[in-house]
Amino acid sequence: MLLEVKNLSKSYEKSHKAVDNISFELGIGECVGIVGESGCGKSTLARSLLRIEDIDSGSIVYKGNHIEKLKGKGLSAYRKEVQAVFQNPTASLNPKIKVSESLIDPYKQFQDELDLKHFTYSNKRIFIQQLLDAVELPHSVADAYPHELSGGQKQRITIARAISIEPKLIILDEPTASLDVLSQGAVLKLLSTIQYTLGTAYFFISHDLAAIHSISQKIMVMKKGQLIDSFPKEELFSASRNSYTKQLVSYFE
């Protein structure tokens, strides 16, 4: 087991729990998808897992180690293995620097601690070319600035940056929401390929059940801060599903 979340709760106001007593497990190389309407607490859960937000109660256990109170070097080591891709790639990329500098940044930060298995670093140029190959972008993109790229290309760059240090887990928070339909499909296919090639686990957050279903092995449904349903993807259409899940399925169909 890679990640175990137990009874996690997070409140911004005493009267309202953004995340209410959520528990789940995520295995090595597995994609767990969590779906729910806007405001249900999905992104708060993502920020809690990334340690951007401190939790109120419960535990986050990564590879057997509690991470909810990590600081300093311990937190840095966790972040080396757990990366993120967010909804808006434009906001994730520094507009003042070229793509090549964005791509190399995680490697520069953690290079003394890395033991890469898939990518190899002999020099900066070749390393960046490997990353661009992995996300099916031409090498010329390395010299571009973010504003010169399409939304789909920018999201592929954020994915390349996330996989550059070969993390064990990537938190995907609405990674296709800002893209057109064609780009959404291409990015989802790319994520599936990377999962197979690198053995990367995903925690995939979306309001789009079709996207969740396309690459997840397990699906969880969240409503008003609570986890109300959890099941293998093959059981999505089971009669035993929660009534809210059935409502989401009706839109999916």
Beta bridge partners of 171: 84, 203
What 3-state DSSP class applies to 140? Answer: helix
Give the confidence band of 253 by pLDDT, cuts at 50, 70, 90.
Answer: low
57-62, strands of its sheet edge to edge: 16-26, 3-13, 57-62, 65-66
Q: Which fold has domain 3-44+53-252?
A: Rossmann fold (3.40.50)
Digit-coded pLDDT (tens) for 32-87: 999 988 888 898 999 999 999 899 999 999 998 999 888 888 888 899 999 999 98
Token pair in block for residue 197: 């090639």
What residue spans define the domains of the chain? 3-44+53-252
Give the confidence band of 177 by pLDDT, cuts at 50, 70, 90.
Answer: confident
Instruction: Check pLDDT > 90 for residue 216.
Output: yes
Other C-beta atoms within 10 Å of 120: how many? 9
Angle at 193 between CA 228 and CA 64, to 5 degrees: 55
Give the confidence band of 169 by pLDDT, cuts at 50, 70, 90.
Answer: very high
